[in-house]
Amino acid sequence: MVSRIGLSASEITELAKERFQEERSIDHLEGWFLAKEIMRRCDEEFQDEPDSIRIAKTLKKIAGELPLWISDYHLFAGTQDDSFARSYALINPAFTVDSFSGYCDPVAVFGDIDPIGDITQERIDDLKEYNNHTAFADALRRAYDIAGDSTSEAIFFIEQVTGHLVPDVRPLLRYGVQGVKAEIRRNMEAETDEEKKVYFRAMDTALDAVLILADRYAKLAHKKYEAADEKDKPRYALMEETLRKVPGEGADNLYEAIQSFILIWQTMCLEQTPNPFAFSVGNADRIFETYRAREETDRETAAALFKHLLVFFNVADRSWAISQNLIVGGKSNTGEDMTNLTSYALLDAYFDMNLPQPILSVKLHKNTPRKLYESLGRFFFTPGCLTPSLFNDDAVFSVLQNMSGVSAEDLEDYAVAGCQEPLIMGKDNGNTTNSWLNLGKVLELSLNGGVSTITGKRLGKSDEELGYADKKTVLENIREIFYQNLDKYLDKMTACANAASEAIGLLQVPFLSTMMGGVKSGIDARDTKKQGTKYNGSGCLIHGLSVVADSFIAIDTLLKERPQDVDRLIEALRTNFENDPEMQQYLLTAPKFGNHIASVDDEAAEIAGKVSDMVASRKNYLENPFRADWSTPSTHLLYGYWVGATPDGRKTREQLGYGVDPLYGEAHQGLGFRMLSNMKLPFEKMNGGYASHLGINPNYFKTPAFESKGLEFRDKIIGPLFYNPQKKGISPFYLYVNVATPEMLRKVLAEPKKYAPSGVYIVRIHGTFVNFLDLSPDIQEDIIKRLDPASTSM
C-alpha cells in the first residue's frame, strides 16, 4: 500500500529525520495542562456518574478538544506530546543529587510549566490548587504520612504506580476497536455482577476516544491534501484513507498497523496524563511481522516506516517520554527462535536513526542465530551509537515460571517493561517501581544505634533497645542486627507502598484495561480489591548490595585483626574519616566483591538471597508477593547521598554500588574475575529484575568488520556471562553495556561539536539510552565513573 505515495525508502527516511528535528525543536509542552483543565471541568459535568464512566467520558472529551496538528513531515498521524511534561529529573541539566526529593508530591508537575500565551501563572496556580485537594492527592499524602521520617533520609521510598506495563495491542490491531467493543458488549450482556457491567460500559465508552482522534486526524489530513503540492498529495491521501479505516477496523498491512498502533498508544497515554508510567511495546517484531508479511514489504521499506514509529516515541527537546521499551528476538515456548525479517528491519531503523527513545532490548537464547549477533555488532562498536539491553530467555523463562507463577503457555509473551522488568504482555500488573529499599541506610542505622550520622536524627532503635551493651558486641552481631532492623523497615515500607497503590487505584484506566485483560474480567487493571489482570505483584528496587557485603567482610576483618579498634571504627564512620584517614585506608584494603574472593562473593550471595526472600514474603494489596528487583536506575546516586560513611571505606554521601555490580573502583582484577563473582548471585530469586552494567573498552575487539565484532562480542561477553557451564542454578539474564572509555566521554564533553556534531551522543543509563549531552553533570560523571576499566579489562 505504501508504494502508492510514490516515495522511495530513502525519501521516507528523510521525512522521519526531518520530523525528528522538528520534534526536538519543541521547548515547551502544555498539552497535558490543557488535558488537566478538561478533566477538572468533567469532574463537575459527570460528577453523578460512576468513577469509571466519568473517566471514560472525560477521555472522550480530551480526545475531542485537545489541539491536533499534522506537519509537513508526518507519514503517520499522532503524537505523545500532550501526555508529558518537561519534568524527568535525570535528563534535566539542572538536576543535582542533593536537590532530589523524590516523586511524592502529587502536584509537583505544575512546577514544570511556564506561563505561555493565555496560560497565565494565575491559571497554573488555580489548577494546581484544585488538583492538590482531590481524593487522589489526599490518599497519596496519607500513604507518605505512614512512612514518617523513613523517606526523609531514604531508608525506603514509595511510588504510586501502575505503570511499567506492557499492554497487549494485538487484539485492537487485528480486530479493530469495533471488534473489541463487540466482545465487550457480549461479555457485558452475559455478566450478572452489576459493578462489572458498569465497568464493561466504561471500557466500551473509553474506546470511543481513539475513534474520535482518528476522525479528527483524518479531517486534518484532508486539509493537508488540499493544500499540498502534487508530490505530497498521495501521502496525505493515504493518511486520510487509512485513518478512516483504522483503528476502527483491523489493520491489513504494515502501514495500517503502525498508524493504528500510534493512535492507540496516544490515547492510552492521554488517559494517564501527565507523565504516564512508562508503557512498553513488547516484542514489536512479532506484533508487526504478520502485517509486513501480508504485502511482503521489503526490509528496507519496512525499516523506513519503522523510523517514523521510533520518532513518535520522542517527545520535544529532550525526548521526555523515557523508559518506553521495545524488544525483538527471543524464543518460543517450545524453544524455536522467533526472529524474523521485521526483527532486522527494526534494528536497521534503530541504527540509522540513533534516537534517545524508545529503549531497544534484544532477547537472546542458546540458539540465537549467528545473523542476529552480526547485526548487533554495529551498535556496540559505533561510537555514540545506542546499545541494546540484552536478555537471556533461557534464564528468564525459568525465573518467571518458578518465582512469579507464570504459566508455560505465557512465557514467550514475556517482555521488558520500563528499563528491565520482565512482565507478561497484556496480563501482568507488576507495579514494578512501587517501593525502593536502601540497604546502605539500614546498615548505617544498625551500626549507630538508629541514629543518622548525616543529620543526627534518631530513625531506629538504639543499641540498648536491641539488647547490646557496647559496640564490640554490635559489630560481632551486625548481621543479626541488620536483618532485624530490615525486617521492621520492610513492614513499614509494605504498608506505605500498598497505601500508595490504593491511592493510584482511585484513578481508574478503562482504556488501558481493554489491553490488560479487562475485556474478559470486567475489572480495572488498577483495582486494589479485585484482580483485573492474570498476574499481579508489586516491585521493590533494592539498593546497596556490594556496599553491605563489603562492609560485613571489612567488619569481620577488623574484629579478627584489630579488635581493639572497634570504637575507633565507629568514631571514624561518624566523622566521615576526617580525623582518621588511616582507618579508611585499612578498610579499603579489605576484600571486595567483584574480584573472585570467596568470602565476600559468598557474603553478597547470602545477602541477595536473604533480602530477596524477605521482600518476597511481603504481600501487596491483593495478597500477592512483592518482587525483588535489584536494579538502581541512577537511584544508587540519590540513595547514596543519604547514607553516611560505611565500613567498606566508602565516605559519606558517596554513591552506592550500581545494581548487583561492584562499587566502582573496587573490582580491579578484570572481567573474568568479575564474572566469576557475579555467578555466585542467586538470580533465580530476582523475579522483579536486576541491573548490571559493563563499561567495555572497544580496543579489546580486534576483528575489523562490525559483523565479526558482533560474533566476538557473543564469544567474549555473552557466552561467559549468560551461558557459562560453571554457573550453578539460574544464569544471569540481563546486561547492558557502554562500549567506551572514560577518555572518550570526556572528549565528547570537552568538544561536543567535534565528537557529536549532530548534538546527539547516545549512552546507556540503566535500562534506557539517552543523549549524553542532555544529562545533568552528576549523571554524566556517574556514567564515566562506572566505565571502570579495571573491572572489565580482558
Could you please report the per-residue DSSP string of 399-444?
A: HHHHHS---GGGGGGEEEETTTEEEETTTEE--TTSEEEEHHHHHH
Instruction: Say which range, 188-202, 262-276, 774-788, has the weakest mean pLDDT.
Output: 774-788
The whole-number pLDDT of residue 96 equals: 66
Instruction: Report the share of the chain in percent with pLDDT over 90.
Output: 82
d(CA 657, CA 139): 34
16-39 burial string, b = 16+ CB within 10 Å, else e? Answer: beebbeebbeeeebbbbbbbbbbb
For the chain, give the mean pLDDT.
94
Assess contact for 447 and 474: CB atoms under 8 A: yes
Assess contact for 411 and 425: CB atoms under 8 A: no
Q: Is the dihedral of CA 783, 784, 786, 792 positive or negative?
A: positive
Instruction: Say which range, 47-56, 490-499, 729-738, has the weakest mean pLDDT.
Output: 729-738
Task: Report the pLDDT averaged over residues 701-714.
Answer: 95
Grid look-up 542454578 returns 729
The whole-number pLDDT of residue 409 equals: 97
- Give SS3 for 781: helix
Instruction: Say which range, 33-42, 91-100, 369-378, has the weakest mean pLDDT.
Output: 91-100
CA distances (Å), origin 36, targets 85, 112, 270, 501, 513: 12, 14, 10, 21, 21
Contacts 24+ apart (CB under 8 A), 93-102: 93/774, 93/775, 93/776, 93/777, 94/776, 95/776, 95/778, 95/779, 96/776, 96/778, 97/637, 97/638, 97/641, 97/778, 98/641, 100/638, 100/641, 102/151, 102/157
Grid coordinates representing 605? 550471595
The whole-number pLDDT of residue 97 equals: 64
The whole-number pLDDT of residue 786 equals: 79
Task: Report the pLDDT averaged over residues 610-637.
Answer: 94
pLDDT class of 788 with cuts at 50, 70, 90 = confident
> How wide is the angle at C-alpha 428 spanned by C-alphas 423 and 433, nearest 5°?
70
Assess contact for 305 and 298: CB atoms under 8 A: no
**Phi, psi (5° rounding) for residue 30?**
-125, -5
Amino acid at site 741: T
- For the cut 90, the answer to whether the pLDDT of residue 17 exceeds it is yes
The whole-number pLDDT of residue 784 equals: 85
Grid coordinates representing 700? 579489546
Question: Per-residue pLDDT tens for 279-334?
Answer: 999 999 999 999 999 999 999 999 999 999 999 999 999 888 888 999 999 999 99
- For the cut 70, the answer to whether the pLDDT of residue 88 exceeds it is no
The residue that leads in pLDDT, 419 or 522, is: 522
The whole-number pLDDT of residue 665 equals: 87
**Phi, psi (5° rounding) for residue 116?**
-155, 135
Task: Report the pLDDT averaged over residues 240-261.
Answer: 98
- For the cut 60, the answer to whether the pLDDT of residue 101 exceeds it is no
Task: Report the pLDDT averaged over residues 663-689.
Answer: 93
Question: Per-residue pLDDT tens for 424-448?
Answer: 999 999 999 899 999 999 999 999 9
Instruction: Say which range, 285-294, 396-405, 450-459, 776-785, has the weakest mean pLDDT.
Output: 776-785
For residue 716, give the DSSP letter: I
**Sheet of strand 734-739, all strands in order from the earlier edge strand to the far edge:** 282-283, 325-329, 359-364, 389-392, 734-739, 693-696
Task: Report the pLDDT averaged over residues 468-483.
Answer: 97
Instruction: Say which range, 157-161, 498-502, 677-681, 786-790, has the weakest mean pLDDT.
Output: 786-790
Alpha carbons within 13 A on the beta-carbon side of 653: 6
The whole-number pLDDT of residue 739 equals: 84
The whole-number pLDDT of residue 740 equals: 84
Query: Which of 617, 638, 728, 717 has the alpha carbon at shortest distance from 674?
Result: 717
Grid coordinates representing 103? 516523586
Assess contact for 372 and 391: CB atoms under 8 A: no
Task: Report the pLDDT averaged over residues 354-373.
Answer: 96
- For the cut 90, the answer to whether the pLDDT of residue 252 exceeds it is yes
- For the cut 90, the answer to whether the pLDDT of residue 269 exceeds it is yes
pLDDT class of 161 with cuts at 50, 70, 90 = confident
The residue that leads in pLDDT, 739 or 260, is: 260
Task: Report the pLDDT averaged over residues 393-401.
Answer: 97
pLDDT class of 585 with cuts at 50, 70, 90 = very high
The whole-number pLDDT of residue 234 equals: 97
Q: How many residues would you count in the chain?
A: 794
The whole-number pLDDT of residue 634 equals: 77
The whole-number pLDDT of residue 98 equals: 67
How far is C-alpha 778 from the chain's CA centre? 20
- For the cut 60, the answer to whether the pLDDT of residue 389 exceeds it is yes
Task: Report the pLDDT averaged over residues 708-721.
Answer: 96
- For the cut 70, the answer to whether the pLDDT of residue 696 exceeds it is yes
Assess contact for 158 and 143: CB atoms under 8 A: yes
Instruction: Report the share of the chain in percent with pLDDT over 70.
Output: 97
How far is C-alpha 14 from the chain's CA centre? 30
- 160: which strand partners? none
Query: Which of 683, 781, 693 has the alpha carbon at shortest distance from 732?
Result: 683
pTM of this prediction? 0.95
Query: Which of 459, 611, 467 has the alpha carbon at shortest distance from 540?
Result: 611
